[in-house]
Amino acid sequence: MVIRAGDMDEDRYNRLKLFEWFDLPTVKKTKVLVVGAGALGNEVCKNLILTGFAHFSIIDMDRVVTSNLNRCIFFSDDDARRGRYKAEVVAEKLREIDGSIEVNVHTGRIEEMQEDFISQHDIALGCVDNVAARLHVNASCYYHRVPYIDGATHGQVGKVQVVVPPRTSCLECGMNITHAKIMQKRFSCTGKDIVYFEPKLAADVNTTSIIAAFQVQEALKLIHGLDNYIRNIFYYDGERNFFSTFELPVNRNCPNHAP
């Protein structure tokens, strides 16, 4: 076999292949679900496509607005003016990066999808901003034994939780009274036309990028069968220059773990 100077530079994934454990065919065939196509979803999808993932499902019910533009790499002023669906724009931009990929777009709520929707995927990454959607994906993933990597940010603080059924605890294992109160407000008997308003939170792309990077890094570990994934929560605080990992024990009172 003759190797020409510069051959390595002709291979898009050459630098990734230098990792002994990296297997491009495994990455290419993995069916990944991204729930949420906002700031975190933009960064997660960017990292996934550049890493070689080729089978995507992206779901988000929201449309692009101008305030998204300072932390969403795939959105433009024109997208905001036209009020385009976030999931459709992200899918379009992913196809521009790699025209060979398969990407399915859903512009509704994850809770409205068919019962077997999540089970059609090999791994799920959560990029949503509300407790209800998180718990729905968490419960469905745990039931169907689909690994779930949840990301969340709040200002300069963020976390990544890795849920590997049935080995680890899940999001609901760590539920507290604050989460329950939020759920109660969101689903109180106020009528279907009443929307529970939550104030906007400070956000910056730096924290979002860090959390998204950890999500995709953990996804790579899981699909390659590596055992050094986070158990179970990675916590980052950019204001205090602090990060750590915490184990969350299985809560036997959690509905996903009850006998």
* H or E element in which residue 216 lies: helix 205-223
254 carries an active-site annotation: no
Beta-strand pair 102-106/123-126: unpaired
Q: Which of 141, 170, 189, 254 is catalytic?
A: 189
Q: How many DSSP H helices and E strands does the chain contain?
A: 8, 8
100-119 burial, b for 16+ CB within 10 Å, e for fewer?
ebebebbbeebeebeeebbe
Q: Which residues pair with 162 in a beta bridge?
A: 149
Q: Count CB atoms within 10 A of the CB of residue 237.
A: 15
Per the structure block, which two tokens stand in for 141? 């993933």
* Residues β-bridged to residue 245: 234
Which residue is associated with the tokens 């999001």? 171
User: Which DSSP state fits 83?
Assistant: T
Beta strands 55-59 and 102-106 are parallel
- Helix or strand (DSSP H, E) at 94: helix 86-97
Contact by Cβ (8 Å): 137, 45: no
How far is residue 238's CA from residue 210's CA, in Å, rounded to a whole number?
10
CA-based nearest residue to 173, from 115, 231, 118: 231
CA torsion sign for 136, 138, 139, 144 is: positive
Q: Which residues are known to be catalytic? A: 189
